[in-house]
Amino acid sequence: MGLFTALRIVHQTRFRIRLRYQTSGAFNVSSLKRLLEVKPGIQRVEFGVHNPTIRICFAPDEYHADTVLALLFSIQEETFTALTPSNAVAQLPVHSIAKGVAAWVATPLLPLALRPWFTFFACWAVICAGAKQLLRRRVTSESMEAAAVLISIGRRDFTAAHVTNLLISLAEYIEHRIERQSDELLLSLVQPEAEKVWIRKDGVDIQVPAENVLRGMVVVAQAGETVAIDGRVLEGEALINEVSLTGEAVPVAKGRGDRVLSGTLVEEGRLHVYAEQVGRDRVAYRIAQYVESSLQSKSNTHLEAIRMADRLVPFSIGLASTGYLLSRDLSKVAAVLQADYSCALKLATPVAFKAALYKAGTHHILVKSASALEKLAQADVFIFDKTGTLTSGDMEVYCSFSLDPAWTSDEILRLAASIEEHYFHPIAQAVVKAAQSNGAIPHHFHHSEVEFIVAHGVMAYVDGKKVVIGSRHFLEDDEQICFAGHTAMIDEARQNGLTPLYIGYDGRLLGIICLKDELRPQSKTLLTRLKQMGVRKTIMLTGDRREKAEEIAATLGFDECYAELHPNEKAAIVEKQKQNGEHCVFIGDGINDAPALSLADVGIAMQRGADIARISADIALLSDDVLLITDVLALARQTLTRVKNNYHLTIGLNSIIMLLAVMGRLSPVATAVLHNGTTVGILLNAALGARIPQPKA
């Protein structure tokens, strides 16, 4: 159900619009304002203080009246509404508690005839909320609380009615403060957008609106400014504060070839950055989407808690009715109706998951949804793509070969580096680095504009002849270049764990550059920790030769290994595991990993991974530390355990309170105090208990 049930345009111009709104319930104004303002094209959002209006300023080339209305109508009720009576305001005011105290104190001072009416109107909010639920043909905790208050008024037990009203207001205030703070913690991961950006054009710095920056432009990032795009440093040096992404307050030095991300702050220096991802492809935008998804998502555990709470309402009513039939004592009925299960069951679960999602964010891990965290906790099979995940991804040129007597191996390296210097893939950077160490780059080959062929390689023209650099599949199948006579050498290189990069020139295979990617030092520790945590099966996937792959798998301690794989075969293996009833996690970083990441129950993308891999994944690592995988697994399991413990506490404590109430051992006042006190305690445990357990030594 949408949050906004009606929107009417009060005033509009080309750049802004003012609307009067009606909503389906109370909502958190600050959370909604912040989340709207991180959307590209939305510049400022203001809510009316004394009336239900909203004023939105926007970029006219991205939004107009109809699209703004569509955006607002698309916002779901459960994203920002609180599970409170429908008369609740956005931020429950403290003065409602003060009014409750004043009414309680004033009642004994009034004439006897006025006390019932005064108490009735003092508790009007609680009574009205319960009545509205009954009018919707729903018997909920609100209707039971209203019944308890009315019974107390009918029995002329005004103290019980006022105490119930006061404790409900106090508990609601604390509950919503905790939930709102959980939302704000998540939203703190979303950084404000830069409105203007400096770009380098024809040797001159010019300022343009941030939304006008296109891929391939050179953006100037200087001290005091927020980086507006994702890209690679072409020129300059600077200290970048990445606390918004990594939680690490110490600035990081950046120079040529280093990657910088949107939402980070330049503290010192000046950089020229080649824009690789702009607009909706930027990390900052994806973080905003992750946070929005996190705020809207409900885990299966949360949904089951809501269903359980609804199923337990008839039980509470039945117990109260039984107590009355046996004792004819309305005070027992009022007491039993106070001890309801719904509040703690419905609120503690989402608060626990939101606290965990924020905790993950502060530890360099972005989790898209509560459901992803829940599924991760239940996973029993972990599937790893080798390259870039178990290996460092820092490729180094091991050797190069010329297959044409007219060319030397150094010239092959120079040719490849001349073209690859425009590309920031790890293999391309390794080639450029090797050429620079030989002093080759100053004597580079002049070439045409470079064309990037996704998942294959690059292409350009040198002296009118076509040069292609990339995989064997690209050269042999797509470019029809003959590999006859060179297969044995290529197979030997692959058996030795080398990654060949092929250079084609004028329709023939000109040379091969062999690169090596070392295993991460932490990979062995990662597998050991997973085994210690009870993961049932670990699988390694790779395109390497079987002999080398099995050697690596045995060294690291994998249970299964699949080698010599084509990209489409990775997803097939994930599908096979799922068909066998396994709960699978897939960890990868490449473009070719995207199908497997999407297909797995939980996909985890590495920090250096391709953008499509990070978009396809349920969890994205923001730091190049493979041990974060065990950290997020431990957090997921700890969160699910905490949710289950809170569930059992809620059922156990409230059942004891209800039984004591029906036995006449607790008055309505005592029941209200105990019920609301335990609810707040459980919520505090849910909000403050999120932590990442430390691995065993």
79-83, 249-253, 317-321, 521-525: the lowest-pLDDT one = 79-83
DSSP H helical segments within 438-522, as ranges?
472, 487-495
Contact 62, 211 (CB under 8 A): yes
- DSSP assignment of 511-571: EEEEEE-PBPTTHHHHHHHHHHTT--EEEEE-SS-HHHHHHHHHHHT-SEEE-S--HHHHH
- Range from 267-281, 634-648, 673-687 that averages highest in pLDDT: 634-648
DSSP state of 10: E
CA-CA distance, 609 to 252, in Å (whole number)?
A: 20
Residue 381 region, left (φ>0) first, then alpha (ψ -120 to 50), else beta? beta
What pLDDT score does 683 carry? 73
Hey, what are 408's tokens? 């030397």
The tens digit of pLDDT for each residue in 289-344 reads: 555 555 555 555 555 655 666 666 666 666 667 766 766 767 776 666 666 666 66
* Comparison of pLDDT for 316 and 236, the residue scoring more: 236
| Spatial contact of 696 and 190, defined as CB atoms under 8 Å apart | no
pTM flag (> 0.75): no
Q: What is the mean pLDDT of the chain?
A: 77
At 567, the pLDDT band (50, 70, 90 cuts) reads low
Work out the number of other CB atoms within 10 angstroms of the CB of residue 144: 22
Q: Give me the phi and psi of 618, to 5 degrees please.
A: -85, -25
Give which of 358, 359, 349, 356 is closest to 683, Cα–Cα: 349
Which string of DSSP letters, residue by residue, matches 165-192?
HHHHHHHHHHHHHHHHHHHHHHHTTSPP
Terminal Cα distance for the chain, rounded = 49
In single-letter form, the type of residue at position 185 comes to L
**DSSP H or E run through 596:** helix 594-599
Q: Are 272 and 234 in contact (CB under 8 A)?
A: yes
- Give me the percent of the chain exceeding a pLDDT of 70: 74
Residue 586 phi, psi (nearest 5): -115, 130
What length does the chain have?
697
Query: Tell me, what's the pLDDT at 90?
Result: 38
What domains sit in the chain, N to C, each tagged with a CATH number?
A: 4-81 (3.30.70), 196-289 (2.70.150.10), 396-516 (3.40.1110.10)
Distance CA 303, CA 308 (A): 9
Contact by Cβ (8 Å): 354, 183: yes
Cα torsion for 423, 427, 429, 433, to the nearest 10°? Answer: -140
> pLDDT for 122-152, tens place per residue?
888 778 877 777 777 666 667 777 777 787 7
Pairing type for strands 602-605 and 584-588 reads: parallel
CA distance 662 to 335: 7
Q: Are 116 and 156 in contact (CB under 8 A)?
A: yes
Q: What is the pLDDT of residue 419?
A: 86
Q: Identify the three-state secondary structure at position 426.
A: helix
Place of tokens 């009954």: 134
Beta pairing class for 498-505 and 53-58: unpaired
pLDDT > 50? residue 288: yes
Cα distances (angstroms) measured from residue 398 to each of 57, 85, 183, 339: 55, 68, 50, 71
Cβ proximity of 170 and 338 under 8 Å: no
For residues 681 and 375, the model is more confident at: 375
- 32, 52 in Cβ contact below 8 A? no
Q: In terms of DSSP bridges, do strands 265-277 and 381-385 run parallel, antiparallel, or are they unpaired? A: unpaired
pLDDT at 372 over 90: no
Task: Give residue 504's pLDDT band: very low, low, confident or very high (50, 70, 90).
Answer: very high
pLDDT at site 81: 40
Lowest mean pLDDT among 11-25, 49-63, 76-90, 468-482: 76-90
Question: What's the gap between Cα 100 and its chain centre?
Answer: 40
Instruction: State the DSSP string of 126-172.
Output: HHHHHHHHHHTT---HHHHHHHHHHHHHHTT-HHHHHHHHHHHHHHH
598-623 residue pLDDT tens: 888 898 988 766 555 566 678 888 77
Confidence of residue 82 (pLDDT cuts 50, 70, 90): very low
d(CA 99, CA 604): 51
Per residue, the 3-state secondary structure of 213-239, as one string, reads CCCCCEEEEECCCECCCEEEEEEEEEE
What pLDDT does residue 376 have?
93
